[in-house]
Each structure stands twice: as structure tokens, then as C-alpha cells.
């Protein structure tokens, strides 16, 4: 059991230490320019088409959920029909 633990520890250390690391560019200043630009758009839509789709989907789900809740409130307020 001890040898197995030691072997697993060596494998995990070797994998972590030799793993290639991705180098990412710092794009904070680009995003700051984009979001601080005065183009008349609200900040939640400045990300482009993806933000627009997410916003419209969320708004649609909220409207649908509200209508669904009112429908079931109406249905549950009606008396049941006797059989």
C-alpha cells in the first residue's frame, strides 16, 4: 500500500510540474475601452450578439414565467367542478 501511494504521488507531481502552461494576454485595457465607450448601448449589451441573445432569452423567460404564474393563480382560484 505504501509503495502504491508513493508511486501515485510521484506520477501526480511529475504530471503537474511538466504540464504545459498556457500564456494568456492581458486584455483588460481592451475590455475597458469597449465598455467605457459612449455608443448609447447599456453596459449589459456592449458584449455583442452573445449578450443580446442572453438578454432577450432571460427577458423572454421572465415574461413567460410571469404569465405562467398568473395562469396557475387563475386556475387555482376557480372552484373545482363536482363529478
Q: What is the CB neighbour count within 10 angstroms for residue 68?
A: 10
Q: Domain limits of the chain?
A: 42-82
> Cα(59)–Cα(52) distance, rounded to whole angstroms?
11
pTM score of the predicted model: 0.57
Backbone dihedral region for residue 42 (phi beyond 0: left; psi -120 to 50: alpha; all else: beta): beta
38-82 confidence digits (pLDDT tens): 988 888 888 889 999 999 999 999 999 999 999 999 999 998 888
At residue 50, the pLDDT reads 93
Q: Which residue has the higher pLDDT, 41 or 1?
A: 41
Residue with cell 404569465: 67
pLDDT at 17 over 70: no
Amino acid at each position: 500500500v505504501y509503495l502504491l501511494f508513493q508511486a501515485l504521488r510521484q506520477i501526480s507531481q511529475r504530471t503537474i510540474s511538466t504540464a504545459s502552461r498556457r500564456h494568456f494576454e492581458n486584455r483588460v485595457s481592451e475590455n475597458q475601452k469597449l465598455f467605457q465607450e459612449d455608443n448609447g448601448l447599456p453596459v449589459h449589451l456592449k458584449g455583442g450578439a452573445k449578450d443580446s441573445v442572453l438578454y432577450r432569452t432571460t427577458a423572454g423567460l421572465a415574461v413567460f414565467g410571469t404569465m405562467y404564474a398568473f395562469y396557475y393563480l387563475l386556475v387555482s382560484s376557480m372552484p373545482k367542478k363536482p363529478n
